[in-house]
Amino acid sequence: MSDPAFTFSVTRPGVESETMARTIAAPIERDLSFIAGITSIASTSVLGLTRITIQLDPSRDIAATTADVQKAIDAVLAGLPDEFSRSPFIWQPAE
């Protein structure tokens, strides 16, 4: 059984993948790396989209970790231009 995971996406049509990786993925990954309870962070950036997948340690308080993740992501996104859109968290069931 794998750790609980969720995916978060940020979209900006027409923005190059390198820009998405530098301005979205890198700051979010940096801020999330300080949160206890995260076992791995992976991101993919393509034209107009960054998708970040975070795996959580099931032995930790998932609700508290998730709240910390939400705060970190909100802080990064608050500094972005308004035209960036944010999708909700999508929980992926453990397989």
* Predicted pLDDT of residue 89: 53
Question: How many domains does the structure of the chain reveal?
Answer: 1
- Residue 43 sits at the vertex; the CA angle it makes with 55 and 37, to the nearest 5 degrees, is 25
Per residue in 16-27, pLDDT (tens digit) is: 999 999 988 998
Q: What is the model's pTM?
A: 0.78
- The gap between the terminal CA atoms of the chain, to the nearest Å, is 6
Whole-number pLDDT of residue 85 = 64
| Residue-range definition of the domain harbouring residue 16 | 5-92
As given in the structure block, the two tokens for residue 44 are: 């993919």
Mean pLDDT for the stretch of residues 69-88: 74
**What letter does residue 22 receive in the DSSP assignment?**
I
Q: pLDDT digit string (tens) for 15-56?
A: 999 999 998 899 889 988 998 889 999 999 999 999 999 998
84 vs 93, more confident: 84
> CATH number for the domain including 33?
3.30.70.1430
The structure tokens 């990064």 sit at 76
Amino acid at 23: T
